[in-house]
Amino acid sequence: MQRRLGFWLAAGWAAVLLLPWHIAEGWPTPWLTGSNDAGGGSALLQGLLLGRWWLLPLALPLLAGLVGALGRDPQGRPRAAWLIGAGLGGLGWLALESLAVAQPGLGLGAALYAVTALVLCAHGLALRGWCKGDVFIVSSIGLVLGSILVFVGYPVIRILLSAVQDNDGHLTLVGLFDKLTDGGIWGLGCVTGAGSVCGVAWNTLALATVVGLMTTVSGLAFALIAVRTGFRFKAALRLVSILPVITPPFVIGLAIILLFGRAGVVTDLMSSLFDIPRSRWIYGMPGVAMAQVLAFTPISFLVLVGVLQGVSPTLEEASQTLRATPWVTFRTVTLPLIRPGLANAFLISFIESLADFGNPLVLGGNFDVLSTKIFFAVVGAAQDQGRAAVLAIILLSFTLSAFLAQRLWLGRRSYTTVSGKGDAGLASPLPTGVRWAATSIAAVWTALTLLVYGTILVGGFLKSLGRDNTPTLIHYQTAFGIEHGPNGWWFSGSAWDSLFTTLGVSLVAMPLTAALGLLTAYLLVRQNFIGRGAFEFITMLSFAIPGTVIGVSYILAFNTPPIELTGTGLILIIAFVFRNMPVGIRAGIATLSQIDKSLDEASLTLGARSFTTLRRVILPLLRPAIVTAMVYSFVRAITSVSAVIFLVTAKYNLATAYIVGRAEVGEYGLAIAYSSVLIAIMVLALLMIQLLVGERRLGRRASALSVRSSASKVNA
């Protein structure tokens, strides 16, 4: 601990004495001289040379930390009270002077100082016995909680304050109750007969429930086929199942319109062959539900496949030994053991449906949902941020209800199936009815998916899909052209800049999202600390709020000091990390629920620290969750629209913003061509992620299907 304290104290002094305290142009020259009035120098130089005296007290907590590290309590350890005081004092003064004094946004020095103060406080709390005195655990809780409060809690508070403000920013409670009880939100006209439509809240809740159930069932069907059958083309099945998640959602909606719309290809065919009249049935809840089920089923599959792999075959074999039928074994053993996966898959799909606005925007018609209402409240002619905040509060209440319902359904039962003992059981064969049901569901879903993606891929090679079907490469040449000029080859296509920016941001955000999400899951499942339930809900907060609200809240929170990030690439990375982190958390929780804590305890008993145990024991067993977190964070960073549509700039433009811009001006061929290129890039990236991470090995005997398959290959 002495060496660690020395390292962090040195980092704190470097933050105050050497690094630029504020964001300023021209760094590092202003940092060296401290003469830039914009604040480019270190805190010490600015305090001494520029008269910014409020920065000088920042050295006092570091002095207190030095006293605590060098001093000794009666047990011969560093003084915990001094370390706790140093950490809290440093964080408190940093927050106070940043909010109370008009000055430029905080820079690298301030960020390192905040982390140092937090870690010093964690060392002091560990010395007081928090989390069994484990510094790594206490520090991890502090860092995760602090980052979530800054990059999730603070923006959400800023946007929710708009609910009690008028459009000029003045506080007012007039009209708040009217907005909360508006008939357009809670009306039941479609049920009572008083009108033709229901309130937007009921529409949203009904859609999310239907989509959550359908995607969970579909994801389970794919997981059963992939894990519990001898299906020969499992690799192709996995590839098809992830196609929708690597495509911007509104592109799926556009393809559905081109297929099933009033003038769609399938509609024309059905009208010609069977004289079925044309209709607009696709616009409304059926079309939105179809698009969301196609888009969100892969998420359920990615969660459930890892959970299903972790079910111990020994338990199922014991059930068969007691003469239980395959159906009884499946119903009483398999399904109860995968409850965490089912609950997490439903919760993720439910929240995804609540937050999605691309599909309802394209296919909704007169079927309004909360996300589209929030979008138009923000960017529409009225620009009523107060109404947008009220709708966001209602959306949060739905998310909280789903979260509590999930906790009640899971209860306090144990779902441990992976222990340190040998496991030589064979998985029970699927009941015939379950196998046929799973196959039927997967076949229908796959047929629709291939039809949609066939339309997307073909549309890029046609001049105007549905109007002028002349084959052409003009869309790809316009977007990704490469020409040779006097200075050599250069990228002449209009889409190259956005593609390079998107890939760079996504590659940086991917490991950060996975690491933060899985670390949070480890803390939630393996550690007991005060406020764990509230901590878990806060981690899901960014996932529950529509992306449009996240984007607007980031503008409100980070457009002015103390934290200025708008217009930079960093704000895009942060938005992606904290927007997509909950999927890694839920996947990690579902997988960790199956791993026996005795593995951790054995490692700790042998003298390993908690960080070593996490790295060498837990992480190898978390490979399915790692793949889920990395895959989801990478593809969502590339395909996200709503969360970043307000954050992109001319310098940092993203692929989805480019595609939306082309679609808005009617260049659908160019938009579809770009989407097909993104699909190809992400398929290659996902295969590389799977290859690098690999699969966990649990030391089980091969199933009878695998044995027969291997024997047939040998005989052949």
3-state class of 561 per DSSP?
A: coil
* 418: β partners: 595
Q: Give the tokens for residue 190.
A: 């479609």
- Among 578, 588, 468, 431, residue whose Cα is nearest residue 519: 588
Instruction: Look at residue 235 and tell me if it is in a domain.
Output: no
Is pLDDT larger for residue 14 or for residue 676? 14
Average pLDDT for the chain: 81
- Between CA 224 and CA 229 the distance in angstroms is 7
- Return phi, psi of residue 195, to 5°: -165, 180
Asked whether residue 109 is domain-assigned, the answer is yes
Query: Helices 285-309 and 432-459 meet at what angle, rounded to 10?
Result: 120
pTM for the model: 0.77
Query: Which among 688, 700, 703, 679 has a CA at the least distance from the CA of 248?
Result: 679
CA distance 61 to 92: 10
Question: What is the identity of the amino acid at 481?
Answer: G
The answer to whether position 66 is within a domain reads yes
Could you tell me which residues come within 8 angstroms of residue 71 by beta carbon, excluding any fewer than 6 positions away? 78, 79, 82
- For residue 38, the enclosing domain spans 1-128
Total count of domains within the chain: 1
Domain assignment present for 84: yes
Neighbours of 530 (CB within 10 A): 8
Residue 242 inside a domain? The answer is no
- Residue 347 covered by a domain: no
- The C-alpha angle 189, 195, 196, rounded to 5 degrees, equals 100
At 649, the pLDDT band (50, 70, 90 cuts) reads confident
Is position 99 within any domain?
yes
Q: What is the mean pLDDT of residues 678-682?
A: 85
Q: Which of residues 714 and 138 earns the better pLDDT score?
A: 138
Q: Report residue 579: phi and psi, to 5°.
A: -75, -40
The pLDDT value recorded for residue 706 is: 47
Is-cis flag, bond preceding 562, omega within 30? Answer: yes
Question: For residue 559, what are the CA distances in angstroms to 96, 309, 568?
Answer: 19, 46, 11
Could you give the CA distance from residue 188 to residue 694 in angstroms, rounded to a whole number?
51
**For the segment 33-86, what is each residue's pLDDT rounded down to a tens digit?**
444 444 568 898 888 888 889 999 999 999 999 999 888 877 778 889 999 999
Residues in CB range of 443: below 8 A, 6 or more apart: none
Tell whether 49 is covered by a domain.
yes
pLDDT digits (tens, 9 = 90+) for 418-468: 544 545 556 677 888 888 999 899 889 888 888 888 888 888 888 876 667
Most confident region among 5-14, 128-137, 448-457, 483-492 by mean pLDDT? 5-14
CB 630 within 8 A of CB 580: no
